[in-house]
Structure 1
Amino acid sequence: MLRSMYSGISGMRGFQTKLDVIGNNIANVNTVGFKKGRVMFQDILSQNVQGAGAPTDGGKGGTNPTQIGLGSSIASIDTVFSAGSPMTTNLPTDLSIEGDAFFMVTPDDGATIYYTRAGNFTRDSQGFLVNPQGLKLLNSDAAPIQINQADGIVSYSIGKDGVITTVDEAGTLASDNTVGVMTFNNPGGLKKVGNSLYENTVNAGARDEDPMTPVTPGTAKVSVIAGQLEMSNVDLSEEFTEMIVAQRGFQANSRIITTSDSVLEELVNLKR
């Protein structure tokens, strides 16, 4: 009796977490570079009522174990790194990545590095390419990218290989900078730190972690597209379906508690 109540509580707790994740996904349906989450469940250790029995020499067959499950728990909350839909903006500082890689940004000229799929960069007053929080975009040498008008640069463009080509007042072309990106063996191991940023962890498996070596776009099936942004990979129809499943699951588990309570009430009333 009490087992069923605790199982129902564990189920309600799990589906509440699932609704929390779905709510966050839907809230970020228009967030640039956002990657949706998903909740995976697992059963809790079962109580053994009777162990398994082996066949006997007298011809009697074996018996299976008898177990009662004790509910469910959260196995993992994964980040799904499937590609989001592209949105064309035609702004030269808007960048998106084709392939499994991340832009590198820093608040302190490379001493600390964060990773992101959000490519909505702008140029600040010193010509540095920065994200909305002011973090500087890094090149393939892990140094901040600067395109400074004080150097006489008239225009610039960013190719699919990440190379930044500049044109000065004399019409001279220069290609001194390349947008750097980082790849990971396990992107799901990255830690979200807010503002569409990720932090490296011991289970992410960054490429050549000591020292960390950026990937040059155009290699390893990674390309940088200028004038385009990668939008959220949240599918509203999928999220609404999962919301219904989570809602019904929560209701069903609450009904288990109500039913168990009714049976306990009947047992208490037997003495009357």
Structure 2
Amino acid sequence: MNNSMINSSVSMRSIQQKLDLIANNIANVNTTGYKRKEASFQDVLTSVKQQPGSFQKEGRLTPLGYNQGWGSKLVEAHVNMEQGSLQATDNPLDFAIEGNGLFEIAEVTLDTTNVPVTTTHWTRNGAFEISPSIDPEDPDGYLTTKDGHYIVGADNNPIRVPNSHRIDVQPNGVVLAYNEVDKTAMPIEIGQIKTVRVVRPQLLQQVGDNLYGLAADITPQQREEILQTVTADNNNIDPITVRQGFIEQSNVRLADEMTELLTIQRTFTLNSRAVTSADQMTNLANNLRV
């Protein structure tokens, strides 16, 4: 197998993976809070092809030999946390984050022995709702996602919403509950929505349903280096605010994705033609007769 066939066949695999990323971005162009994924490539291997000594001519400044590549591979697909546009909904249970942050949610599932297990995920999708308590005797509700996952508060507990109360969320995430029965009653503070600042987005993993997760072996200390908990003390330099009555649109620009799609498709076509040409040349060489 010659060099051009190796180079092209190796590169075609990474190009196909890039095509899959673009297709996924286009499919989520209207997904609330979706962040586009971008690919990073690097050379698989670069070797130096030596040249005969006769190539060393007078006046040549470069040493003998030239670099020979063997294709490229997809190193990682990282998340682009660029801010998406905000759309006003006038729904008091819709929230958007301004800044490089995420909402923290708790997903409760049952293991094989029917014991509740809590898994922490993060999302930019702020389309929330108030879900009733699992206890039929509890009249209050909890702030959850559309899938029923609990929104985590600053105290790392779910945010409990009293019955017959509406909520108002401040830009810093503080949740106030107003009594809908007694309009004269003072609002009560029921918690604060926990947000985290994305420090190292390349380590985020998409786990489906517009949620992000981290590797299972990440320690709490390492987690804080990847997703920094937003507090009043560290929210001055890179502020993160919560906007009630808005949802964030996807940061995917369809025109840019289509342009990149055409470029990648042509690159794939060029490499496939290189493989075909190399195969034809090899066939001709094998059929030569003296």
Instruction: With the length of structure 2 as denominator, give the TM-score of the two structures.
Output: 0.82
1:263 has 2:281 as partner: yes
Cα-Cα RMSD = 2.9
**Equivalent residue for 2:224, pick from 207, 211, 219:** 207
The Cα offsets for residues 117-143 of structure 1, whole Å up to 9 and x where unpaired, read as 110101112321111221000111111
Instruction: Please give the residue correspondences for 1:6-155 in structure 2 after superposition, counting only pairs within 5 Å.
Output: 6-50=6-50, 63-108=63-108, 111-126=118-133, 127-149=141-163, 153-155=164-166
- Point out the more displaced range, 187-196 or 237-246: 187-196
User: How far does the alpha carbon of each residue in 1:130-164 deviate from its partner, in whole angstroms, 9 at most, with x for none?
Assistant: 11221000111111011121xxx443211112111
Q: Please tell me the residue identity of whatever aligns with 1:34.
A: Y
Q: Number of matched residues? A: 264
Structure 1 residues 191-270: aligned runs within 5 Å = 191-201=205-215, 202=218, 205-207=222-224, 214-216=229-231, 219-220=235-236, 221-270=239-288
Letter in 2 for 1:207: E
Q: Distance in 2 between matches of 1:172 and 1:46?
A: 70
SS of alignment partner, residue 29 of structure 1: coil
**How far off its partner does 1:214 sit?**
3.6
Distance 1:9 1:61 in 2: 34
Distance 2:166 2:152 in 1: 20
Whether 1:162 and 2:179 are equivalent positions in the alignment is no
The answer to whether the Cα contact below 8 Å between 1:183 and 1:207 also exists between their aligned partners in 2 is no
* Preserved CA contact (<8 Å) 2:37 2:77: yes
Amino acid in structure 2 at the alignment position of 1:227 = G
State the alpha-carbon separation in 1 of the partners of residues 203 and 177 from structure 2. Answer: 37
Taking a change above 3 Å as real, the CA distance of residues 236 and 205 of structure 1, as seen in their structure-2 partners, is: farther
SS in 2 for 1:246: helix
- Aligned residue identity for 2:4: S
Output the amino acid matched with 1:246: I
Q: 1:110 to 1:266 in 2, by over 3 A?
A: closer
8 Å contact from structure 2 (residues 43, 71) kept in 1: yes
CA contact (8 A) 1:33 1:117 kept: yes
Q: What SS does the aligned partner of 1:207 have?
A: helix
Kindly provide the amino acid, as one letter, of the partner of residue 167 in structure 1. Y
Instruction: Provide the rounded CA distance (Å) in 1 between the counterparts of 2:245 and 2:69.
Output: 54
Distance (whole Å) between structure 2 residues aligned to residue 60 and residue 113 of structure 1: 61
- Deviating more after overlay: 163-172 vs 18-27: 163-172
Distance 1:60 1:208 in 2: 50
- Deviation, 1:216, is 3.8
Shift in alpha-carbon separation, 1:162–1:252, aligned structure 2, 3 A: same
The amino acid across from 1:172 in the alignment is M
Deviations 1:16-64 (A, max 9, x none): 11110100000011111111111222222123322899xxxxx996624
Q: Partner of 2:268: helix, strand, or coil?
A: helix
- Once the 2 structures are TM-superposed, how far is the Cα of residue 176 of structure 1 from its aligned partner? 3.3
Whether the 8 Å contact between 1:52 and 1:66 is mirrored in structure 2 is no
Q: Percent identity?
A: 31
